[in-house]
Structure formats: structure tokens, C-alpha cells
Amino acid sequence: MSVVIRLARAGTKKRPVYHVVVADSRFPRDGRFIERLGHFNPLLPKDNEARLKLDMDKVKSWLAKGAQPSDRVTRFLDAAGVVKRTARNNPEKAVPRKERKAAEAAAKA
């Protein structure tokens, strides 16, 4: 059984709130989960303490059991100092699409 720590959407239309849950990776995003670890409200300002609430003892326990955090949860845990997030490198992201296509065509010719 592959266990993941991920976000499950709650709230109403255009007013999202997310629960941080531990779930089997085969379960639906908003479906069955094993345990709720906290919540995240993206509508609150970034400096507000109520924006993200996590039970760090439970998170550390699940990480020790082998649970894999999703990308967004890894960002939260990196900010809290629990998990180190690896830096990603996408040098083509900064190049506009037309220029990238022209460079690829020039490389093939």
C-alpha cells in the first residue's frame, strides 16, 4: 500500500479550503483517507498564522512510516523545516514559446 500525504479539497465553489490528509494513493483526491493532519486556507494572507495548521508530531510519524508527501505538502514541510525540498531546474520555462520553437527548428536544420 502506497501512502501519501496530500491535500483534499473542501469548501464551496470559488472558496477552497484544503485538508492535509494521509491517504492510500489509489483513493480519490477528496475521497477516503486514513487520517487528517491539518488544513490549509489559500484565501488568507501569507503572513496569517491560520493559513496553514499542521500537527507536526503526526506528520513526522507518518514520514517515519514511509508516507510520501505531494509537491505542495513538501513545500509546506520545507518551510517548517521538516523535509528538505530539492530544487528543480527548468531553463526552458523563461523562453517564450515562439522563440523556443524557432530554436528547435534551427537545431534540426
Domains of the chain, each with CATH number or no CATH: 3-80 (3.30.1320.10)
Q: Averaged over 11-23, what is the pLDDT?
A: 96
Closest CA to 4 of 82, 59, 83, 75: 59
pLDDT band at 1 (very low <50, low <70, confident <90, very high): low
* pLDDT of 99: 80
Which residues have C-beta within 8 Å of that of residue 104, sequence separation ≥ 6?
Answer: none
Would the pTM count as exceeding 0.85? no
pLDDT at 33 over 70: yes
pLDDT at 94 over 80: no
Q: Averaged over 37-58, what is the pLDDT?
A: 95
Give buried/exposed letters for 4-38 (b at 16+ CB in 10 A, else e). bbbbbeeeeeeeebbbbbbbeeeeeeeeebbeebb
Average pLDDT value over all residues in the chain: 91
